[in-house]
Amino acid sequence: MLLQVYFLSGGLNFNFNIGDFLTFLCSICWALQIIFIDKFNQNEDASLLAIIQMYFIGIAGALFWIAFDAGKPVIINGTSAIILLITGVLGSALAFGGQTIAQKDTTPTHTALIFTAEPVFAGLFAMIIPDAAGNTETLTITKTIGCVLILAGMLVSELKPGKKENKKQVELNDGQV
């Protein structure tokens, strides 16, 4: 995956910085979230688990705000309210809730494979949706190679020879137990 992200980001300067460390840490946290959702979804209500996740992130976010940003001016206007609603409802509640509920019917590996397409979609949306200054990303050959490699990696991992036979054998064994 590193090679694909290298191409998608347009190349690296090989200087490890705090952003690289935070990205690595975030990847570990995503992996742990997928594993824990799978573990807790087996015996618990997925909808309730999604609600608990949202409560936790709300409380944790409030604590981080108090610790690091309390006392700074907060501007609430129509634009900031819309941004909060979109990111809070669509980007968090529906996204995490949907993931939690959908992951009950799939494997952690399959979930992780779906998440590998995120950089591709982020790149595509960055080419379509302009930033505050009206700029969009441009499509380059290296970004195209990165997208193709990510999607090819997903395809190869899903189309492994013998994968369906192994799944059918597991289903047969489950039925006999």
Segments making up each domain of the chain, as ranges: 2-170
pLDDT at 11: 60
Q: How many residues does the chain have?
A: 177
pLDDT at 172: 46
Q: How far apart are CA 14 and CA 39, in angstroms?
A: 37
Q: How far apart are CA 51 and CA 55, in angstroms?
A: 6
Give pLDDT tens digits along the chain (177 positions): 555 565 556 565 566 678 778 878 888 888 888 888 888 888 888 889 889 988 998 899 899 989 998 888 888 899 888 988 888 888 888 888 888 888 888 888 788 878 877 888 888 888 898 888 888 988 888 888 877 888 888 778 777 666 554 554 455 455 554
Which tokens is 151 given?
């999607």
φ and ψ at residue 137, rounded to 5 degrees = -70, 155
φ and ψ at residue 13, rounded to 5 degrees = -100, 0
pLDDT at 90: 86
pLDDT at 165: 47
DSSP 133-171: TS------HHHHHHHHHHHHHHHHHHS-TTHHHHHHHHH
CB atoms within 10 A of CB 43: 6
Q: What angle do CA 16, 22, 23 make, to 5 degrees?
A: 85
Q: How far apart are CA 51 and CA 64, in angstroms?
A: 20
Cα–Cα nearest to 8, from 120, 116, 118:
120
pTM here is 0.62
DSSP 49-104: HHHHHHHHHHHHHHHHHHHHTTTS-----HHHHHHHHIIIIIIIIIHHHHHHHHHT
